[in-house]
Amino acid sequence: MHPLERFLSAARMEAPDEVPVSLLTSARFFSRLYGIKVFQFFHDPRLMLDATLHTMKRFPDIVFFPGLWADYGVVVEPSAFGSRIFWPEDYVPFVKGDLLKNPEAIPGLEPPDPKTDGLMPFVLESIRYIQDHAPKDVKYLYAVARGPFQVASYMRGPTEFLVDLRVRPDIARKLIDVCTETAIRWLKVQLEVINNPVGIFVPDDNASFLSPGLFEEFGLPAYRRIFSEFDGLLKVYHNDADSTHILDLLTECGFHVFNFSPATDIRKTKEGIGQKVCLMGNIDPVNVMLRGTPEQVEAECKRCIQIGATGGGYILSLGGGPSMETPQENVEAMVSAAKKYGKYPLLGV
Amino acid sequence: MNDEILKNVSIRLEDLDVEGTIEEVKRALDKEISPFGIVKNALSPAMDRIGQKFERKEYFLSELSLAAYIMKGVMDLLDPHFSVSREGRLGKFLIGTVKGDLHDIGKSFVSMMLTSAGFEVHDLGIDVPDERFVEKAVEIKADFVGMSSLLTTTMPGMKRVIELLKNNGIRERLRIFVGGAVVTQSFADEIGADYYAEDAMECVRKARSLVMNRR
């Protein structure tokens, strides 16, 4: 099987010929490997494409997810609302300052227009560029929008947003509604530009900061609303905070693939949400992939495969994007571990 | 009577009752219970229990944030009374997230937990320039410096700050704490920090035991 076929088969909850290996598309990792500063990656779509293709070629057995990606980090949605953005020379951009420091500004907030506001039109143009200039066999496949909890936290301030959920629930709900609507509109506009889209990708770490009760009240309805809008597409959700306490609720959100972190136990995940949703994870990107030896990477991949891959519906991946200085030997160790321990049929442990 | 008021403060805070906690603290002040007594006998034990609930996964970051919010309101209320009280706090703790790093949540919880444990906390916020740690440590005569980093790219900032503190001749009188998702005990040892804490609760436990041993 071709690696991408293998990935899509697992995403459909099937057991492919062997466990697919995937890494998140990472401006930091790709730039370092290609020998450019991260800011250059963002500044020039040609370099963005070249660095991405270079990395794909270097690791042909890995499915980079979402693959070709006009990736500008976490700042795109906040920029469309008017947040101040900070661009370091050799790192991913940050949102600076809390746009909605004053909660009184929230009731009048409207979703931005993805075709004209902030960095969104610029991202659309980059998607067109990358799509037009990529080799024929490498397709632009996914629309990406940051989830409502991440975007709300960046604009309001993470702690302030969490306090609002209890102290000013109406205002918190309004902010979540606007961010949810923004994600939907933003995904739809990208899907109009992408030639033959396969799916959507929604990363949203901050949702796991909510207690189960708050997640049920605020998180579940927001996610159901987003994911129900895109039937017929593969829906991938990323959350690299500890999500153990909301795993049952996440099962009901309506996505197909869950990219989760080592903070969330893989056995519990497999026994619960993993029965209905494809799991993608959850090797530690820092303590194992960045700082570990190839032997440690192999041992951890073996453990994850043995627990996660039984019965299919599993993609071997990290619980987050690869760090900038991730050793190439460790990436190779991941690929060979999948070949060594991940041939189907697998016997459960 | 006073014991009952303090118990009520403690229960209200543990239950995350925003208005109830403030009301009970006002009542305690009306009864001329010292602010230090309120911190030590009501707020601090409540925060310990909140921390334990977090460790047991009965409370989550949403609850810790609310506890921080309530504590801030309470400390604003207590602050003017501290200045007239003869009892001091446990020590001055300067804290911040290092240069280039905008992570706020973990550092803010450490601030809150230290405050409730009785430390006088000076929180420099996020993206703090190296020199700012030194200037502020000199200005307030800090006893402790705590630095947070959640990115492998910003971790070296901790080492630079420690070097600067050395160069300014104040390193020796400080106890330096480091923490954050990417920081480890071996990194702390390597850069010459005194203590690594895995989470806010551990930081408070270590800092508090240092003070208790000194007294």
Residue B180 pLDDT greater than 90, yes or no: yes
Q: In whole numbers, what is the pLDDT of chain A averaged over residues?
A: 96
Q: What tens digit of pLDDT does each residue of A146-182 get? A: 999 999 999 998 889 999 999 999 999 999 999 999 9
The pair of three-digit structure tokens given for residue A297, joined into one six-digit string:
């990477």
Residue A349 counted as domain residue: no
Other CB atoms within 10 A of residue A347 CB? 6
Question: By residue range, what is the domain housing residue A81?
Answer: 3-341
Chain B closest-CA separation from residue A162 CA (Å): 5
Nearest to B49 by CA among B96, B15, B24, B95: B15
Query: For A35-51, what is the mean pLDDT?
Result: 96
CB spacing of A211 vs B62 below 8 angstroms: yes
| More confident site: A253 or A349 | A253
Contacts of A40 (CB under 8 A, 6+ apart): A31, A47
Give the Cα separation of A74 and A42 in Å (integer): 12
pTM (two decimals):
0.93
At B181 the pLDDT is 87
Is A37 part of a structural domain of the chain? yes
Our count of domains for chain A comes to 1
Q: Which of A187, A219, A204 is nearest to A147 (CA)?
A: A204
Tokens at residue A167, please? 């102290």
CA dihedral A323, A324, A327, A332 (to 10 degrees): 70
Look at the block and give the residue holding tokens 């207690």.
A211
Element (H, E) at A205: none
Q: Would an 8 Å CB–CB cutoff place B198 in contact with chain A? A: no
3-class SS of residue B14: helix
A62: burial class by Cβ within 10 Å (0-12, 13-18, 19+)? Answer: buried
- Which structural domains are found in chain B, ordered by start? 2-84 (1.10.1240.10), 92-214 (3.40.50.280)
Residue B173 has pLDDT above 60, yes or no: yes
List CB contacts of A5: < 8 A, sequence separation 6 or more: A16
Per-residue model confidence (pLDDT) at position B39 = 87
pLDDT of residue B87: 60
For residue range A192-247, list pLDDT tens digits in order.
999 999 999 999 999 999 999 999 999 999 999 999 999 999 999 999 999 999 99
Structure confidence by residue, pLDDT tens digits, A231-243: 999 999 999 999 9
Please identify which residue in the block is written with the tokens 């550092």.
Answer: B107
Q: Average pLDDT over chain B, rounded to whole?
A: 91
Of A167, A286, A290, the CB nearest to B69: A167
Q: CA angle, corner A82, sides to A155 and A95, nearest 5? A: 50
Size of interface A-B (CB pairs under 8 A): 59
Chain A residue numbers with beta carbons less than 8 Å from the beta carbon of B57 are 244-245
Mark which residues 105-164 of B lie under 8 Å from A by CB. Answer: 105, 108, 151-153
Count, in order, helices (H) and strands (E) of chain A: 15, 10
CA end-to-end span of chain B, whole Å?
A: 30
Task: Tell me whether 0.90 is exceeded by the ipTM.
Answer: yes
pLDDT of residue A286 exceeding 90: yes
Rounded average pLDDT over B168-197: 95
User: Reduced to 3 states, what is the DSSP secondary structure of residue A275?
Assistant: helix
CATH number at residue A275: 3.20.20.210
Cβ–Cβ below 8 Å for B65 and A88: no
A99 in a structural domain: yes
- Among A90, A162, A286, the residue with its CB nearest the CB of B62 is A162
